A = this chain, B = another copy of it.
Amino acid sequence: MISPGVARFLAGATQQTPFLVIDLDVVEQRYREIRAAMPYAKPYFAVKATPEPAVIRRLVELGACFDVASPGEIDLCLEQGAAPECLSYGNTIKKEADIEYAYKLGVPMFAFDSLREVEKLAQAAPGASVFCRLLAGSADARWPLSDKFGCSTDFAVDLLQKAAKWDLRPYGVSFHVGSQQTNPDRWDASIAAAAKVFGELREIGVELEMVNIGGGYPARYVDDVPPIAEYGDKISAALDRWFGADRPVIVSEPGRSLTADAGVLRAQVVSVRRPFEGGDRWIYVDAGKFGGLAETEGESIIYRVLTSQTGPTKPVVLAGPTCDSLDILYRRTKHELPLALDVGDTVDFLSAGAYTTSYSSVGFNGFPPLPTYCIGDKR
């Protein structure tokens, strides 16, 4: 689960912990795997997962496109060589000034899920291709999405019709079945909903062209997940089922699935508290919820953990270094760690390449943000 490159880096690492190391060759490998599993889908990397310049650069070289959430992410992609026409502004919550910024730079494609957002797009991005995000269930996802995003199919038909009237190009629909989605059957219902919107709009003379099937393809944390090929096959079958021979342009937004397994977050044991009065054994490490491990919230994402010690193990509570009780990583989930584990020993969180550095706080408790080292960079 640790790539040879990362293993070599960590073996010789003298950098102060905590830090993240990302192997760009693993990112490339995952990109090739998802292309092979879903040859019918154009991948737009969800930049928010790992907004690291070297990662973006490698994906540009591989011909990827990019799903961006803000002007900051647009700038990052363009600086790393992405063409503006390869960007999709997938955030449904955009300031009009930000829409205009993107539009003037040549970003061609924008998401919406409300009337207010269509109005802003018509105003600031005339003629742009727009797509409506549909509500989607995210059962079986470890990091679910909710009704914060997306609207009903009826509402979508109405909004896309309005978009057409207001000189936008009603390009398609999108949905997202939740991040770290462990069930490849979850795409079916949303593809059916997409087909319904396509059909209803066709009846009134509006031809949609694109379905954005979102992301959610899983990384390899503690639990086993189906191989990416199974996602590719099942999504393809669902597209056949609901669109038949008339398959639209398919866009996907892999994020976590490309970068998570490429990264290891190296931390160090800062303190150990032995059980008193039958309590837990606590291991405090120098990386915590405010220093990159935000997805441990609710113990949603359960990283594999390796330490520099061996020997008999016991379950522990794992906690971060800040004076905040929320900064407990795992309590219900008892990681079994060596009893010999002590101050100064290393603790590696595997598959930590996504949704870590970018979540890091600017300096909660005076601890600096998590630094990232990328290996395998050809430049």
Contacts and interface: CB of A to CB of B under 8 A. Distances in A.
Q: Which of A93, A147, A342 has the most CB of B within 10 A?
A: A93
Contacts of A68: 366
Interface stretch (A25-33, A113-121, A182-190): A113-121
A92 B321 CA distance: 9
A73 B359 CA distance: 21
Contacts of A92: 271, 323
Interface string A238-271: 0000000000000000000000000000001011
A365 B48 contact: yes
Which of the four size classes fits the interface of chain A?
35 or more
A376 interface: no
B358 A361 contact: yes
Contact of A279 (B147, B154, B282, B364): B147
Contacts of A284: 93
A114 B325 contact: no
Interface in A94-138: 94-96, 113-117, 120
26 contacts: A48-B364, A68-B366, A69-B366, A70-B367, A71-B366, A72-B367, A73-B365, A75-B366, A91-B322, A91-B365, A93-B319, A93-B322, A95-B268, A116-B273, A116-B342, A116-B343, A120-B271, A147-B279, A148-B328, A149-B323, A152-B277, A154-B276, A358-B363, A358-B364, A358-B365, A360-B362
